[in-house]
């Protein structure tokens, strides 16, 4: 299912409507209840869910009739939900490449793009694997991924709730190979993508700590 369809379905939901109402502005629970026709508790529940997903955050207080109220705003990570011109351009570019290149050649091209992006962030071999992983994390975050480093059973993982290439990944899963190559080049160790491409794509890269 394409990103456009996923986003349309999201924005038709109550959570999506809240995100739309908060775009470019702030609002309190009272503001949102008036615009949505919901109870305070219902709005708070949706805001809590959006906060957990990293899409909404508190942004200070606004005066009320009896007491101040928390104001809410979108996080930078929420920006990926809104369609952009380059999303459509990237999708169309991959579509054309798929029509002209074999799957193997397309894979090689995407990996080459990942390597070329990594050249801007040279591998520092004397640093620890975790330190290099944090460099890769910073690069993904700069692309808009809100990435974090996780440790599970002695293994390192880079995860992000918001894929910076989600618009392309939903249509073309092969694009994950680009990010896999990018991360691998920066950390200087084998990396395996284990991304979740259901609903809104979420990045996850397993780093081979043995290398």
Q: Please say if the pLDDT value at position 42 is more than 90.
A: yes
27-41, 49-63, 154-168: which has the minimum mean pLDDT?
A: 154-168
Q: Please say if the pLDDT value at position 41 is more than 80.
A: yes
Segment 15-25, tens digit of pLDDT: 988 998 898 88
Segment 165-191, tens digit of pLDDT: 777 887 888 888 898 999 999 999 999
Residues near 45 by Cβ (< 8 Å), separated by ≥ 6? Answer: none
CA atoms within 13 A on the CB side of 20: 14
Q: Provide the CATH topology of domain 85-207.
A: Muramoyl-pentapeptide Carboxypeptidase; domain 2 (3.30.1380)
What local confidence, expressed as pLDDT, does residue 85 receive?
Answer: 63
Q: By the 8 A CB rule, do 186 and 118 touch?
A: yes
> Would you state the torsion angle of the CA atoms of residues 7, 11, 13, 14, taken in this order, to the nearest 10 degrees?
140
Could you tell me the two tokens for 145?
A: 């991924």
Could you tell me the two tokens for 97?
A: 């490449």
Q: Which of 136, 137, 146, 191 is nearest to 166 (CA)?
A: 146
- 182 exposure class (CB count in 10 Å sphere: 0-12, 13-18, 19+): buried
Q: Provide the CATH topology of domain 3-81.
A: Arc Repressor Mutant, subunit A (1.10.10)
What are the sequence ranges of the domains in the chain?
A: 3-81, 85-207
Distance CA 184, CA 181 (A): 5
Q: By the 8 A CB rule, do 179 and 207 touch?
A: no
Distance CA 50, CA 121 (A): 33
Distance CA 16, CA 8 (A): 9
| Residues making up the chain, counted from first to last | 211
Q: Please say if the pLDDT value at position 7 is more than 60.
A: no
């Amino acid at each position: 299912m394409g990103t456009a369809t996923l986003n349309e379905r999201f924005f038709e939901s109550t959570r999506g409507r809240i995100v739309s109402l908060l775009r470019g502005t702030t609002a309190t629970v009272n503001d949102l209840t008036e615009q949505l026709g919901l109870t305070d508790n219902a709005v708070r529940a949706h805001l809590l869910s959006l906060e957990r997903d990293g899409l909404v955050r508190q942004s200070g207080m606004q005066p009320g009739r009896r007491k101040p109220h928390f104001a809410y705003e979108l996080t930078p990570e929420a920006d990926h939900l809104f369609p952009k011109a380059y999303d459509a351009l990237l999708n169309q570019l991959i579509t054309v490449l798929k029509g002209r290149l074999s799957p193997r050649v397309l894979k090689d091209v995407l990996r080459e793009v990942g390597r070329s992006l990594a050249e801007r962030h040279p591998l520092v071999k004397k640093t620890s694997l975790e330190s290099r992983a944090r460099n890769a994390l910073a690069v993904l975050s700069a692309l808009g991924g809100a990435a974090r480093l996780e440790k599970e059973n002695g293994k390192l993982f880079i995860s992000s709730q918001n894929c910076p290439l989600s618009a392309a990944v939903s249509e073309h899963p092969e694009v994950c190979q680009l990010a896999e190559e990018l991360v691998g080049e920066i950390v200087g160790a084998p990396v395996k993508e284990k991304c979740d491409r259901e609903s809104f794509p979420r990045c996850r890269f397993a780093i081979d700590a043995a290398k």
